[in-house]
Chains A and B, each alone.
Chain A
Amino acid sequence: MHDNSNAHYSWTEPGRDPELALAAQRGDLGALFTLLRKYRRELWRVCFALTLDRQRAERLVHDTLLRAAKNLRSLPTGSSMLPWLVRLAAHLATAAAKSGTQAPGAEPFSPEALGTGLTEMERPVLEAFAALPEGERLLLALDTIEHISYPELAVIAKREVPVIMNQVALIRARIAREEAA
């Protein structure tokens, strides 16, 4: 169990995930709930980077977990569940952004919604980050905040490592350019 969110560990290491997933597919609700609870903190941070809102992040977390519980059979055999959950959350966030559906009661993005005191230097960075598409936002958040290595990012995004490196560099350059402007 990765309960310590501050500890850095491999996001792609399967661990007991395949065993729990197999038991959950056979109807073991305990194994299913163990699997869903296992990565809730990491999933929330990912959802927070995607939505930039705490409430919407919580909503996206449980939407993602419900979708995962229903479609557990599509989890790749023998792999960790976290990359699959991250892709699922990104897919749901992108679909929600395209359809324009928001959580009930949610407001449009504002930097103050993060709940932290923004400085004048942080505001343009956050606005530039919020202007990015969901996929690029997620990639930069995983690289910058979670410190995930390029090979693991390649596994999560299902891309080659050079492509990931190039994309992260382009995103950083874009944010830096907009922040400077």
Chain B
Amino acid sequence: MKHLSSLQLCAFLDDVLVGTPDDGTARHLATCTICRARYETWCHVDDSLRELLGQDPDEHAMEQRMSWVQIVVTAERKGLPAPEFAVLRIALPPQLPAPPPVQVFPPGRAPGFADPAPRTTTPEPLKRPMLHSPILESQALAQRASASSAPTPAAPRAARQPAQPPVAAGANPSAPPPGYARMPRPPRKGFAAFVSRPGMWIALALVAVLAGAVPLGVARFGIPVIKFGFKSGHERDADVKPAGDEKSDGADDAEPARKGSAKARKGAPDDPGTQPDASVLFDLPALEPEDGEPDPGATDAAPTRPGKPADRDTPARSGPTLCGEVHNPQGQPVEGARVYLTSPPRMVRTDKSGRFCISCPQGKRTIRIEATGRAPVTRTVQMGSTKLETRFTLVPVN
């Protein structure tokens, strides 16, 4: 069996071990007689040292030493020679005679104790506390003075001074009547009442905190800029650039920026001052074409807004343009008919007079006209370098 080391025994004796080591040491001490004898020897050493050395100082001697230390330190601070300890004599506090021992007797058993006779006098009735009011006091004094003109011990104050009139009717209201100091303080008025309210100080503290916090916030984050996402229709229309202002290549040249499209959502990187409209701010979906039609110009076609054929007869840019009119068999214009250009894919709608204009590159192009309730018409035209006028007639579907 392996015996406990001195370190283990010392730690166990000082109650440092916890948990498994503590339990293991205790189990070993319960079984190993050699370690148990060592442990008991160590315990005996500790107990003997506590018994022999665990003494308290002599308070009087310690007080003499402390006083001497104070005197020496004070003398050294003042540059005086330090006195010798043997010269110093501090008088002991006078020893008072010990008090006689106190004898405790049970109730009624003390020597010479006699139970007093039962009381025959009736106890005095309780008096209500009287408010020290000058008015009430003067009234009471007047009653006492009228009841007896001679001073009585019960009314010594009435004998010393006459009854005071009430304050309100007194000749000198500024002088405080007797007992005035005991009156409750009158409520404060005006500015004093305003200042004495704790709520006012709390409000002032809040204002001071806010006044200090706002400049700090402005200094830290700058002046806040409030951006409202809503724009009027006029402003939204102004956001749509005209076709000729677009600085892009190819087929996008004539297309206005679509609201909510990816391009508009990103904003023009070349124009940092471009402000997004409400649809961009709130991530609204793009405007869908009427009649549930799929957006044919998802890549580069820009459908014209219905009811706003502003540039039907005006080419978006200088170049070949295909214009035309769409009528029914009776010769009446068909409004809102969709005019598709297959290559490049574009779509416009006819206006109230059935007219449309679409930018069309030179060459052989295919035009398809569709309208609700009418049979579509497809036609191939040869586009030159100038404007081309066509007419279409849509027949109703039976």
Contact = CB atoms under 8 A, between A and B. Distances in A.
Interface of A: 5, 27, 29, 32-33, 36-37, 40-41, 44-45, 48-49, 52, 54, 57-58, 61-62, 65-66, 69-70, 114-116, 118, 121-122, 125-126, 129, 140-141, 143-145, 150, 165-166, 168-170, 172-173, 175-176, 179-180
Nearest to B55: A48
B44 A41 contact: no
B249 interface: no
Given A62-B65, A116-B51, A176-B38, A29 B57 contact: no
A113 to B, nearest CB: 11
A50 to B, nearest CB: 10
Nearest to A42: B57
A122 B51 contact: yes
Contacts of B46: 144, 172
Contacts of A48: 53, 55, 57
A176 B42 contact: yes
Contact of B11 (A58, A145, A165): A165
Interface of B: 5-7, 9-11, 13-14, 16, 38, 41-42, 44-46, 48-58, 61-62, 65-66, 68-70, 72-74, 76-77, 85
Nearest to B15: A147
A81 B7 CA distance: 30
A29 B74 contact: yes
A113 B85 CA distance: 22
A144 B51 CA distance: 11
A108 B341 CA distance: 125
B40 to A, nearest CB: 10
Contact of A169 (B10, B55, B58): B10
Contacts of B72: 66
A137 B76 CA distance: 34
Contacts of A36: 66, 69-70
B50 A58 contact: no
B257 to A, nearest CB: 70
Contact of A145 (B49, B57, B65, B74): B49
Contact of A58 (B13, B44, B49, B57): B57
Given A116-B55, A122-B48, A145-B50, 13 more contacts: A45-B54, A49-B53, A54-B58, A58-B58, A58-B65, A69-B73, A116-B52, A140-B49, A170-B6, A172-B6, A172-B42, A173-B6, A179-B45
**Interface SS majority for chain B:** helix
Nearest to A115: B55
A61 B6 CA distance: 34
Contacts of B52: 114, 116, 118, 122, 125-126
Contact of A126 (B48, B65, B74): B48
Contacts of A126: 48-49, 52
List the 3 closest pairs (A to B, CB-CB), nearest first. Answer: A169-B10, A44-B57, A125-B48
A58 B41 contact: no
A5 B56 contact: yes
A52 B62 CA distance: 16
B306 to A, nearest CB: 83
B45 A175 contact: yes
A40 B67 CA distance: 12
26 contacts: A27-B77, A33-B73, A40-B66, A41-B57, A48-B57, A58-B58, A58-B62, A62-B65, A65-B66, A66-B73, A69-B73, A114-B52, A116-B51, A121-B48, A122-B52, A125-B44, A125-B48, A125-B52, A140-B49, A141-B49, A145-B53, A145-B54, A172-B6, A172-B42, A173-B6, A176-B42
Given A36-B69, A54-B58, A126-B48, A169 B7 contact: yes
A136 to B, nearest CB: 13
A36 B41 CA distance: 38
B48 A44 contact: no
A179 B339 CA distance: 119
B65 A144 contact: no
A155 to B, nearest CB: 16
Given A29-B73, A173-B6, A179-B41, A125 B11 contact: no
A155 B56 CA distance: 25
Contact of A32 (B9, B16, B58, B73): B73
Contacts of A58: 57-58, 61-62, 65
A62 B10 contact: no
Given A140-B49, A143-B14, A175-B45, A33 B70 contact: yes
B198 to A, nearest CB: 35
A174 B308 CA distance: 110
Contacts of B68: 62
Contacts of A115: 55
A121 B66 contact: no
A62 B68 CA distance: 8
Contacts of B51: 116, 122
A12 B20 CA distance: 30
B69 A66 contact: yes
Contacts of A122: 48, 51-52
A165 B48 contact: no
A169 B66 contact: no
Contacts of A173: 6
Contacts of A29: 70, 73-74, 77
